[in-house]
Amino acid sequence: MTRKRCDRRGFTLIELLVVIAIIAILIGLLLPAVQKVRAAAARMQCGNNAKQIGLALHNYHDTRKFFPPGGVTTAMPQLGIPSGVNHGWAVFILPQLEQEPLFKSYNFSASWNAAANKTAVATQVTALQCSASPTNGTLSGGAAVSDYAPVNLVDTAALAALGLVDNVAKSVGVLDVNFTARMADVTDGLSNTILIAEDAGRPQLWRAGVQVAGSTVSGAAWADRDAEYTLHGFTANGTSNPGPCAVNCSNNNEIYSFHTGGANVVLGDGSVRFLSTSVSIRIVAAMITRSGGESYSLPD
């Protein structure tokens, strides 16, 4: 009886290497696309957070007839704040951010970093954290961080001396420290004025996308009185100020995000704008002041 022989041909080494090379090329082509999708999703999520914050600020104003202060360092009877304590801006809008229990647990008669508020300030508030930021979490003292904060002042003297911004008489923003601004106080127009901007990655220091090892910056916690910051402008590499760069050059109390090409800002009308890294610091300064009288136009 004759048995048929069945030849079984396998891959040669060269064929296997070709297949592996093709797979490697396809993965190489796919990874940037996946990264772009993730970056776009993170930017959208962070923008949605900013919209939540804008809506919360408007709801607060609807109730109180003024915006919350950018920080508190003195007695403010209209808010029930005694003298001798310090608070950050975000503690006031916790109910509007659907954090009513956290708001009720917070002790306004003690400073934000007092023992009485240790548990409250350690609570993560997701609306205040951008998923693109690599440092979301808690500080060494236990306080939870925020990637959003008021940019409420322009260093007009230093920047105007360099010819970078207009030298205006009133360089303060809306959420100023120890001040409760009304919409009527924003004479530059609500749709033209920034309330909140990203300043992500704190407390670690970042410069133009690179973390500076062993260096930290202030104002990282959402309850921190020092969360608010001033526009000084930096050099393009983020190493010194004042300078012409207003967006994404340093997170040392400046507008900064981990999105490619810009950062999210909340305007006085509650809308969110993605502010490009190419926008002139003169325009950014004009967007911060609430009654500077400057005029500007942003590209679409």
In the predicted structure, residue 106 carries a pLDDT above the cut 80: yes
Q: Which residue has the tokens 């772009």?
A: 36
Helical H segments across the chain, by residue range: 13-64, 100-105, 118-121, 156-161, 281-288
Average pLDDT over residues 169-185: 96
Q: What is residue 14's predicted lDDT score, i.e. its pLDDT?
A: 76
In the predicted structure, residue 185 carries a pLDDT above the cut 90: yes
Distances (CA, A) of 35 to 163, 224, 260: 39, 33, 12
Range of lowest pLDDT (35-39, 202-206, 213-217): 35-39
In the predicted structure, residue 2 carries a pLDDT above the cut 90: no
Confidence band of 16 (pLDDT split at 50, 70, 90):
confident
- In sequence order, what are the residues at sequence separation of 6 or more whose Cβ sits closer than 8 angstroms to the Cβ of residue 57? 67, 68, 93, 96, 195, 196, 266, 270
Number of helices and strands in the chain (H, E):
5, 10
- Using DSSP's 3-state secondary structure scheme, residue 157 falls into helix
Amino acid at 157: A
**DSSP 8-state secondary structure symbol assigned to residue 291:** S
- Using DSSP's 3-state secondary structure scheme, residue 128 falls into helix
Q: Which residue has the tokens 């508190």?
A: 72
Range of lowest pLDDT (22-36, 85-99, 231-245): 22-36
User: In this prediction, what percent of the chain has a pLDDT beyond 90?
Assistant: 81
